[in-house]
Amino acid sequence: MGKLTIVRKVVCVAAVEVPPDEQAFLEYVQSGGQVETTDWMPDDYRAKLIKFIEMHGNSELMGVLPEREWILKAPTLQRKLALTAKVQDEVGHSQLIYRVAEDLGKPREQMLADLISGKAKFHNVFHYPTYTWGDVGVIAWLVDAAAIISQKALLKCSYAPYARIMKKICWEESFHILHGRDVILAMVTGTPEQFGLVQEALDRWWGPLMQFHGNPIPAGEDPMYKWRIKSQGNEEARQQFLDGYVPQILELGLELHDPKLRKRDDGVWEYTEPDWDELKHVVTGHGPKTQERLAFRKHFLDQEQWVRDVVLAA
């Protein structure tokens, strides 16, 4: 029986051999250098990297839950298929992301256990309830838009395996935004009640959306930026979101009720300072739906443990 043996050659292009020295590593990544799984990394880099990647994987997995409910209520066959495919993509993303973290040394079971116990975190937006089909549109369009901005900034991550999966993730997210926008457009051009559902959902989601990219940490103080895990600061991401999406929201006749929201002459968006305490409170496990969703996840993980035991047994 033939056995396929693949030889992977790593070609050193510019005689780059990063010595096990934190300063040299820092200079290397700050000048655009990337590292692979087996390269030497400072302990701090490795720890921050795993935590960041883990939170991302957790977020994709938890993001499934608010939307999943609406899969079962989709009002047409096309919306049913599109929404199921979108949520399927999120699960697929968590698989890609967890695999990267696993290859860095943290087992999947441990990540899931830390998620359930609250030791590991996930993004703020997935701690909030959904109430109507309007939420479905707003989440697919605007929450995914906010996420794609962060994800595009990760395409240049200094840790190459993570940067590589972002390509597939960003490609799939672009379908989600199309779907979300289509759902929104159908409703804003539908009945007045449907328009109202979108406006009402937007009113509820605007606060979490403004908090999504995190509080503005100066680039010099942001370890994620220092290690070039992220290539963009939090405020830069938020500005990009506002610049891209406020005009798109307003042109549909929807309203944004922040009296301070405006674009200055120098191109910078001003807005009412988001409630950073609320953000911290939510991501540390106190969001309106946090415990219920974690319990839901735990229920199925426990119930189906036997399947993993039987199927994945060596």
Partner 1 sequence: MNEWEVFRRERKGQPFEHAGSVVAPDADFAEAWAREQYGRRGESVALWLVPRDQIRDVEDWADEFDLKYRRVDGYSIKARLKLARENASAVAEGGA
Partner 2 sequence: MTGVGSTEPEKSELPASPAGRSANKAQEQQLLAIADDELFLGWRESEWTGIAPMLEEDVAFSSIAQNEIGHARAIYQLIVGEDGDADALAFDRPLDEYRCAPFVELHLLDWAHTIARRWLYETADQIRLAALKDDSDPAVAGLAAKIDREEMYHRMHAEMWHDRLKDEPRFTAAVEELWPYALGVLPPKLRGELVQRVGLAEAEAVERGAHTDDLAPMWEEMTEVRRSAPAGTQW
Residues that bind partner 1 (CB under 8 A): 3-10, 12, 15, 38, 88, 92, 95-96, 99, 102-103, 108, 165, 168, 172, 311-314
DSSP 8-class letter at 230: S
Among residues 5 and 23, whose Cβ is nearest to partner 1?
A: 5
Q: How far is CA 250 from CA 50, 241, 243, 261, 265, in A?
A: 39, 14, 12, 12, 19
Q: How far apart are CA 300 and CA 296, in angstroms?
A: 7
Among residues 3 and 264, whose Cβ is nearest to partner 1?
A: 3
38 interacts with, out of partner 2, partner 1, none, CB within 5 to 8 A per kind: partner 1
Residues 180-209 within binding reach of partner 2 (CB under 8 A): 183, 186-187, 189-191, 193-194
- Is there binding between residue 92 and partner 2 (CB under 8 A)? yes
- Is there binding between residue 314 and partner 2 (CB under 8 A)? no
Residues 27-40 as b or e (16 or more Cβ within 10 Å = b): ebbeeebbbeeebe
Q: How far apart are CA 260 and CA 107, in angstroms?
A: 46
Return the bridge partners of 263, or none. Answer: 269
Least distance (Å) between residue 101 CB and partner 2: 12
* Nearest Cα to Cα of residue 231 among 166, 142, 171, 143: 166
- Give the residue, chosen from 46, 48, 51, 80, that forms a contact with partner 2 under the rule CB under 8 A: 80
CB-based contacts of 149: which residues, under 8 Å, 6+ apart?
213, 237, 240, 241, 244
Taking contact as CB under 8 A, which single stretch among the options 18-26, 90-98, 142-150, 267-275 is the one that binds partner 2? 90-98
6 interacts with, out of partner 2, partner 1, none, CB within 5 to 8 A per kind: partner 1
16 interacts with, out of partner 1, partner 2, none, CB within 5 to 8 A per kind: none
